Amino acid sequence: DARVTQTPRDKVTEMGQEVTMRCQPILGHNTVFWYRQTMMQGLELLAYFRNRAPLDDSGMPKDRFSAEMPDATLATLKIQPSEPRDSAVYFCASARTVQTYNEQFFGPGTRLTVL
Amino acid sequence: AQSVTQLGSHVSVSEGALVLLRCNYSSSVPPYLFWYVQYPNQGLQLLLKYTSAATLVKGINGFEAEFKKSETSFHLTKPSAHMSDAAEYFCAVSLSGGGSNYKLTFGKGTLLTVNP
């Protein structure tokens, strides 16, 4: 049963610390998405990659957030320095976009709390 | 650009009653439409999708949705609610066609409560 995995599942940190979240997409999926979910804003797309190349990161605060795909099996989202307003659940999703529609498969999320 | 509006942030039904969750979309080109479900402390799971084939789409767990172009709607229904249906439901839209646009735009979500 192929699944998207995310680590850590929960992260509590103090303001100013660096946070790194990791995602392993489903094997064979070539597109990876990062979302942030909060009560106030709902689900927001932060960035996405196709074949490891960034396609769109316009939803991401550029000064403190960065997203990379070092290889096809790992995507990372880094926040440096973290702030309390970054507290949210961060989801990774992957898709196999060789067809004209993208069915995205979501990971379980990383719940980030910045104190 | 595309957008989704889900009418009602919270819907409460009795077990065995009809479930109706409303979704209206806006899209400059024929859309692809999706319903996702999120159970507590879990990621989103695809319920069903419309990709320009049959307008009545059947999904998992007895849910179905009908694409109505004239009403720009894609409402989700289930004839008889079960306690296990309690979750948050998200409608999403994607532009049809390939190219570089793989983005999904999500609605704000509707929390479904099922009362015994």
Task: Return the higher-pLDDT residue of B88 and B97.
Answer: B88
Q: Residues for chain B: how many in total?
A: 116
* Inter-chain touch B49–A43, beta carbons under 8 Å: no
- Percent of chain A scored above 70 by pLDDT? 96
Q: Residue A16 pLDDT more than 50? A: yes
Tens of pLDDT, residue by residue over A51-78, are 898 888 888 988 999 999 999 999 999 9
Model pLDDT, residue A2: 83
Model pLDDT, residue A32: 93
Model pLDDT, residue A106: 93
Q: Which amino acid is at B41?
A: N
CA distance B116 to B15: 5
Model pLDDT, residue A58: 86
Model pLDDT, residue B74: 96
Distance from CA of A43 to the nearest CA of B (A): 7
Q: How far is CA A110 from CA A29, A90, B47, B60, in A?
A: 20, 5, 22, 26
Q: Residue A98 pLDDT more than 70? A: no
Tell me if chain B has a CB within 8 Å of the CB of A65.
Answer: no
Model pLDDT, residue B100: 47
Work out the average pLDDT over B36-47.
Answer: 92
* Inter-chain touch B102–A103, beta carbons under 8 Å: no
Q: Which helix (H) or strand (E) holds B95?
A: strand B87-95
Distance from CA of B26 to the nearest CA of A (A): 17
Q: What is the mean pLDDT of chain B?
A: 90
Range scoring the smallest mean pLDDT among A54-63, B23-32, B60-69, B94-103: B94-103
Q: Residue B91 pLDDT more than 60? A: yes
Tens of pLDDT, residue by residue over A101-115, are 668 899 999 999 999
Residue written as tokens 């507590």?
B40
Chain B residues in contact with A48 (beta carbon < 8 A): 102-103
Q: What is the mean pLDDT of chain A?
A: 92
Other beta carbons within 10 Å of A28: 10
Model pLDDT, residue B101: 58
Tell me if chain A has a CB within 8 Å of the CB of B50.
Answer: no
